[in-house]
Amino acid sequence: MRKTLALKPPSFAALVQQFFTEYLVAQRSVSPRTVACYRDALLLFLDFACRQLGKAPTSMRLADLQPDLILAFLDHLEQDRKNSVRSRNLRLTALRAFLKFAGRRDVASLHDVERALSVPMKRFERPMLNYLTRAEMVAVLGQPGESWSSQRDYLLLTMLYNTGARVSEIIGVRVVDVVLDGAACVHLHGKGRKLRSIPLWDATVAGIRSWLRLNPTLLGEAALLPNRDGKAMSRSNVAQRLDLAVSRAGVEQPGLLKKRVSSHILRHYMPFPTISGNEDKRL
């Protein structure tokens, strides 16, 4: 009678590698940003787990991922790293995705995976979204100054206001993504690789034309709104420039200094564009 050789389950290290190379990239084709988010979550967890368990990552097993360890990691994120509940839940989402994948590759550990997946997301209150008055919005936009950075920042804020786009979408805009002739629009590359086209107002088109005349080397695949090194701006860079604009506008509109103004606020202030695609007549 022939003996059936039992297949050896993959090691924990092999599961982590397969999760990224085979599942996320090859099968799901998720965006590089999502891969980076999941990578950071697992790196944080492995670093914490190794210290708690006294094991190297190569020595870990799925059975080590007990609910108590995961809950301790999530508490560490909130208490020691001062992460918000939203960030905590994002890290847990990445862990859960890995566990579901691992359970399909190592069926002998399904019970351990099931117990680990029982750790719930944490509920939290969503704060009421702040808003800007028309006068405050006009003050934040301001007028383009003489310096290179001032003119870039003005166009940055104008495009955020015009399009209602996420920061990641705006800093990802390339020169080739902007259509200025005919029905002017900008092609945005959003979350989940979604593409959408947003009409541009006449004032925005004029601002882009002026910016490109000032920077004749910005062509094709180049970032429309680069930093001093010619690369795309970062999210923290945009937040810094917006904070400067709000501080400047606070002289004219003191109420701004009592508000937490973020790019998300600008997204929700976006008016409905007119049929002709012209700028908001309230401004």
pLDDT tens digits along 175-231: 999 999 889 999 998 776 778 899 999 999 999 999 999 999 999 999 999 998 989
| Second CATH level (architecture) for the domain 12-116 | Orthogonal Bundle (1.10)
Query: How far does CA 131 lie from the centroid of its chain?
Result: 22
Pick the catalytic residue: 191, 193, 196, 231?
Answer: 191
Residue type, 23: Y
Report how far residue 95's alpha carbon sits from residue 159's, in angstroms, rounded to the nearest whole number.
Answer: 36
Sheet holding 185-189, edge to edge: 178-179, 185-189, 195-199
Long-range contact pairs involving 241-250 (C-beta distance under 8 Å, separation at least 24): 241/149, 241/153, 241/156, 242/140, 242/157, 242/266, 244/153, 245/140, 245/141, 245/142, 245/153, 245/157, 246/140, 248/142, 249/136, 249/139, 249/140, 249/142
What does pLDDT average to over the chain?
87
Contact 67/116 with Cβ under 8 angstroms? yes
Active site residue 267: yes
Contact 239/262 with Cβ under 8 angstroms? yes
Confidence of residue 275 (pLDDT cuts 50, 70, 90): very low
Active site residue 194: no
pLDDT tens digits along 130-175: 677 788 888 888 888 889 999 999 999 999 988 888 898 999 999 9
Give the pLDDT mean for 240-268. Answer: 82
Q: Among 29-38, 84-93, 144-153, 273-282, which is the least confidently predicted range?
A: 273-282
Q: What angle do CA 29, 172, 155 make, to 5 degrees?
A: 160
Report how far residue 69's alpha carbon sits from residue 26's, in angstroms, rounded to the nearest whole number.
Answer: 30
Q: Can you say whether the dihedral through the CA atoms of 85, 87, 91, 97 is positive or negative? A: positive
Active site residue 28: no
How high is the pLDDT of residue 272?
Answer: 44
- Of the chain, the percentage scoring pLDDT greater than 90 comes to 58
Pick the catalytic residue: 166, 187, 189, 259?
Answer: 166
Report how far residue 178's alpha carbon sits from residue 173's, in angstroms, rounded to the nearest whole number.
Answer: 8
Contacts of 178 (CB under 8 A, 6+ apart): 186, 187, 200, 208, 224
**pLDDT of 107 higher than 50:** yes
**Domains of the chain by residue range:** 12-116, 134-269
Residue type, 59: S
Residue owning tokens 């990552």: 57
Pick the catalytic residue: 55, 115, 189, 267?
Answer: 267
Contacts of 102 (CB under 8 A, 6+ apart): 15, 19, 62, 109, 113
Distances (CA, A) of 277 to 5, 76, 144: 69, 49, 22
How high is the pLDDT of residue 103?
Answer: 93
Query: How far does CA 14 lie from the centroid of its chain?
Result: 28
Active site residue 76: no
- Of the chain, the percentage scoring pLDDT greater than 70 comes to 89
Helix, strand, or coil (residue 30) = coil
Pick the catalytic residue: 28, 33, 122, 264?
Answer: 264
Contact 159/186 with Cβ under 8 angstroms? yes
* Options 1.10.510.10, 1.10.101.10, 1.10.443.10, 3.90.25.10; CATH of 134-269: 1.10.443.10
Domains 12-116 and 134-269 alike in fold = no
Compute the half-sphere exposure of residue 166: CA atoms within 13 Å on the CB side of its CA.
Answer: 12
